[in-house]
Structure 1
Amino acid sequence: METHKIQEGKLRLYRRTDGGTWQCATYWKGKEQRKSTGEKELDHAKAVAEAWYLELTGKNRPASGRTKPTQNPRTQTNSNETHKILNGKVQLFRRTEDGAWHCSASFGNSIQRRKSTKETSLALAKEVAEDWYLEMKGKARAGELEQEKSFAEAAEKFSEEYEAVTKGHRSPKWVQGHKDRIRLHLLPYFGTKPVSEISAGVAQEYRAHRMTQPEDWNDEDGQKLWKYPARNTIHNEIVTLSMILKTAHRHGWIEQIPNLSDPYRRQSKVEHRPWFTPNEYKQLYKATRENAENPKSPRYKWHAEQLHDFVLLMANTGLRPDEVKHLQFRDVEIVVDDWSGDRILEIEVHGKRGVGYCKSMPGAVHPFERLLSRERLKTVTTEDGETTEKLATPEPNDIIFPNEFKKMFNNLLAENDLKFDRHGKPRTAYSLRHSYICFRLLEGADIYQIAKNCRTSVEMIEKHYAAHLKDMIDTSLVNVRREKSRRTVNEDSKELRE
């Protein structure tokens, strides 16, 4: 066993195996004290052992009866886990016992800077802090430090610009989502950190931080069980971080934007969207029809009828739920199709792609006619100036579906065992759009025309819909066989005759 003695033989370093970590031991107050340095290099182990020995002996030495040891003028220590080096110019501190040491110093016009040394050893933390101080001192002399912006300043600038520039193009809810991510997650982590110090490595540390349970979280104190955030949640936070860094780059606060892509993310497999098979869709509209005829309560009858027509309209048009939400009666017109002679709906769609057009299947006409003739409560003002409600047929500028029936729709799905598909994915109103696209593909419709009618791309349909439909594989093009030559046919016939 290899052994070394330091501190005039009072402190011993040893390791049990070659290449193992160094242990240190000393005899103090009638007891043998031991500790692992956690280091495999002897020089680093000596520094850790000396810091441990001085801390041990200084902590247990009585206040009177002995002479206090002389203190290095370059290092001052107090009882709050804080150390000062370089004549008090740099402070080292740690927030928790056995945690990593942090360093702080003032530069220029009292600009306070902080940095984590990422070292739990005081001796190694001092070396990191000294190197950091000299580097920052050089920047301060060159005038680079005072011009540096913090992440908080860049985030504030981004919030101001993004809300003003995207007004009318992005919904207030979307803009508020960025603000919430900044307030709840990004600012508490990055805070006053200089924006130039945010690198790809720092972003990866942030990902690890978000996926790690907080130390002060205690499930036994009545708090909810800690649940790590979804991958998409962290992705959205990194997107917001990237947009903030782009803002800083536009204003010249950083020279380049770091690569914030996830280094460990594998290529996610392509999965189909949850949809209703033809049999499941038939089961669904029968359930909504039964619910419309016999609702659980008479006061729900109007909403149940609206839900039934909503399902039929969605499955025969392929509209998105948000597009149907903004649809007015004046946006829909019943016309005769030139190709088939059937009556169909021509719809002017206002959605996330702007203004587009859609031509429905014939099955959407009767539900729309019922919606046109169904009376609804309207608020009217009498001659006396009082407001009252009365039943009236809808006007052209009325919203077709003014009320939401999400709860009723989900309850019907659950009652008929249709809420989840075979892969465990939940079905929503969006699944009716997916079903429309799949039904058109199964019937052999042109994929380009489907994409045009649904205001999406051919690539999206091929990726998320066509890939899992067996009818999209043409066996006449797949199971092709080369014809046998005449010589081979004659040889086969001869073998049969013999």
Structure 2
Amino acid sequence: MSYGTTTINVHKKLKLDKRANSENWYARLTLDNGKRIVKSTKTDDLEEARERALELYYDTQARIKNNLPAQTRKFKHVAEYAIKRMQDALESGTGKQAYKDYISALRLWLIPFFGDTDVDKIDYKGLVEFDAWRTQQNKKPFSQSGINNHNAALNRVLDEAELQSWLVKSMRPTLLNKGVKSESRGSFTDAEYKKIYTALRTWHKKTKNTKAAATREVLRNYVLFLANTGVRHGTEALGLRWRNVEWQDKGDERYLVVNVDGKTRKRSAVARDTVEGYLDRQRKLNPKLQDGTFDELIAARSDEFVFTTRLGDVANIASLNRAFNALLDVMDLKTGADGKERTLYSLRHYYATRDLKRGITTHALSKQLGNSTAMIDKHYSKYTPLLNAELHSGRNMRADKAKGAVAGAQSVVDAAFAMHADGLLEDEALLAALGVGRDGYVVTEEIAMKALDAKRAEKINASTLMLILNG
């Protein structure tokens, strides 16, 4: 392989190359494992270049002797390798949705701080300084989940560096997470949810800004979709294309299924029946999809994004958040009675609490939401007393008691007529057992029917029948 127009041997495994497009000499060092280190000497003077090449040689030998990587790279360069690898995986369909969050964390936080640091020089001290800088930039401590996301992104870079031999395993730092313990977001009551979707019917008419109005139209359908599918707000919902929505048959019934690329894996979520209407209305907002029917669109497996405005733009997170937060502020619903702020993500919690209240098991709910059962228990166990309020309040006990009393009364009637039919009770005793003549006596349909049957069988006379029927 040609490395330049001129080559000078400096050492057995060290050469100097003069490239066609540069006046400077380049040092080329071949390692024992066959890999090469090529580095500019940044000079066109041969003797000076020779000295710098030898410095590279002896420095590399020293690093290897001390169990250090033969060469290293700046963090930003390694990060770009890691980002490209994740982007390639996403494009091929083998990557996780979380990769998008890692890429964002690298671009917004990790590269700006560690960019010019050699990847093998990142240590505990550097991580502590990064945490302090991150907190200052964020103006408040990061949550544990946010820091976990940063740590996962950083690990992707360290993995890449180790793979390329720019970092040895023994030098990898132990990552920190002293973030604030994450708390679940607020939810909505049924009454608040109804108030929100009712207001959304006209919310788009209360602005003169064309783009804002278009976003609010989508917001109406988006809110109803989130609250009736449990799909995550953001990447999961906004990444949906019409080809991800399908009808699936089960016996004689068909169900609307949404196939989402989840936080950790792909999954299928069954939408509530009402979602068909919301999505059909959303379809009609897209200028390209206004013709035909909803079923025809589903069958066509269109590559168009679901949540597209009438202007032809895909709705974005920032615009939807802004519109929804403005609505909550106007309605004084931004903060719940528990002091927690509500966001679009709260609609996922609303979906979950409604399902739990209906008696859906945490296992079944975890499959729908794409969470582990343990995570469902962790975030929703605190709702259990309220969801089972009728049990804790004792009302069910009173109801059971009332049912028992009715059942008991019915068993007395059965026993009284049975004993009378067997000749064990006289007419007067039968009347006494039934309570005829006592305050509160009520002729039920069952007592009347049994009395008539007894008269038909000639077990009682007309006088006794009338006493039973009239009390």
TM-score under structure 1 length normalisation? 0.51
Q: Does 1:414 align with 2:324?
A: no
Q: Which amino acid aligns with 1:377?
A: P
Q: Which amino acid aligns with 1:289?
A: R
Q: Which amino acid aligns with 1:427?
A: R
Q: CA deviation at 1:164?
A: 2.9
3-state SS in 2 of match to 1:433: helix
3-state SS in 2 of match to 1:358: strand
Pick the aligned partner of 1:164 from 85, 95, 98. Answer: 85
Q: Does 1:434 align with 2:349?
A: yes
Distance 1:296 1:248 in 2: 51
Q: CA deviation at 1:146?
A: 11
Number of the residue aligned with 2:237: 324
Q: Does 1:444 align with 2:350?
A: no
Number of the residue aligned with 1:367: 278
Question: For each residue in 1:109-148, what CA deviation from the matched residue of structure 2 results, as whole angstroms up to 9, or x when unmatched?
Answer: 557xxxxxxxxxxxxxxxxxxxxxxxx99x9879637965
Number of the residue aligned with 1:308: 220
Q: Which amino acid aligns with 1:323?
A: E
Distance 2:55 2:105 in 1: 36
Distance 2:362 2:67 in 1: 59
Number of the residue aligned with 2:418: none
3-state SS in 1 of match to 2:185: coil
Distance 2:135 2:185 in 1: 31
Kindly indicate whether the alpha-carbon contact (under 8 Å) linking 1:289 and 1:308 is maintained by their aligned counterparts in 2: yes
Q: CA deviation at 1:437?
A: 0.8
Kindly indicate whether the alpha-carbon contact (under 8 Å) linking 2:79 and 2:111 is maintained by their aligned counterparts in 1: no
Pick the aligned partner of 2:287 from 374, 377, 385. Answer: 377
Q: CA deviation at 1:462?
A: 1.0
Number of the residue aligned with 1:385: none
Q: Which has the higher strand share?
A: 1
Q: What are the residue-to-residue correspondences of 1:35-74 with 2, within 5 Å?
A: none
Q: 1:159 to 1:420 in 2, by over 3 A?
A: same
Q: Which amino acid aligns with 2:278?
A: P
Q: 1:333 to 1:176 in 2, by over 3 A?
A: closer
Q: 1:410 to 1:338 in 2, by over 3 A?
A: farther
Q: CA deviation at 1:402?
A: 0.9
3-state SS in 1 of match to 2:80: helix
Number of the residue aligned with 1:100: none
3-state SS in 1 of match to 2:287: strand
Q: 1:181 to 1:344 in 2, by over 3 A?
A: same
Q: Which amino acid aligns with 1:345?
A: L
Question: For each residue in 1:380-412, what CA deviation from the matched residue of structure 2 results, as whole angstroms up to 9, or x when unmatched?
Answer: xxxxxxxxxxx6468721433113251322211
Structure 1 unmatched runs, 5+: 1-105, 112-135, 214-224, 380-390, 480-498
Q: What are the residue-to-residue correspondences of 1:40-439 with 2, within 5 Å?
A: 109-110=54-55, 144=65, 148=69, 152-153=73-74, 156-157=77-78, 159-164=80-85, 167=88, 168=91, 169=95, 174-175=102-103, 177-188=105-116, 191-192=117-118, 195=120, 198-199=122-123, 201-203=124-126, 205-207=128-130, 210=133, 227=139, 230=142, 238-251=151-164, 253-262=167-176, 265=178, 269=181, 271-291=183-203, 294-297=205-208, 303-321=215-233, 322-333=235-246, 345-372=256-283, 374=284, 376-378=286-288, 392=291, 396=297, 397=302, 398-403=304-309, 404=315, 406=320, 407-422=322-337, 425-439=340-354
Kindly indicate whether the alpha-carbon contact (under 8 Å) linking 1:376 and 1:393 is maintained by their aligned counterparts in 2: no
Distance 1:350 1:239 in 2: 19
3-state SS in 2 of match to 1:256: helix
Distance 1:301 1:148 in 2: 57
Q: 1:462 to 1:211 in 2, by over 3 A?
A: same
Number of the residue aligned with 1:68: none
Number of the residue aligned with 1:133: none
Distance 1:143 1:174 in 2: 32
Q: 1:185 to 1:463 in 2, by over 3 A?
A: same
Question: For each residue in 1:412-470, what CA deviation from the matched residue of structure 2 results, as whole angstroms up to 9, or x when unmatched?
Answer: 11111222335654433222112101111122111111111222221221111233342
Distance 2:239 2:134 in 1: 38
Distance 2:366 2:102 in 1: 26
TM-score under structure 2 length normalisation? 0.53
Distance 1:332 1:212 in 2: 41
Q: 1:206 to 1:109 in 2, by over 3 A?
A: farther
Q: Which has the higher helix share?
A: 2
Distance 1:177 1:208 in 2: 13
Q: Which amino acid aligns with 1:260?
A: T
3-state SS in 2 of match to 1:465: helix
Kindly indicate whether the alpha-carbon contact (under 8 Å) linking 1:345 and 1:359 is maintained by their aligned counterparts in 2: yes
Q: CA deviation at 1:183?
A: 3.3
Structure 2 unmatched runs, 5+: 1-50, 310-314, 395-471
Distance 1:303 1:108 in 2: 61
Number of the residue aligned with 2:39: none
Distance 1:153 1:456 in 2: 37
Number of the residue aligned with 1:489: none
3-state SS in 1 of match to 2:228: helix
3-state SS in 1 of match to 2:274: helix
How well do the aligned residues superpose, as a CA RMSD in angstroms? 4.6
Q: 1:245 to 1:276 in 2, by over 3 A?
A: same
Distance 1:344 1:151 in 2: 55
Distance 1:158 1:475 in 2: 55
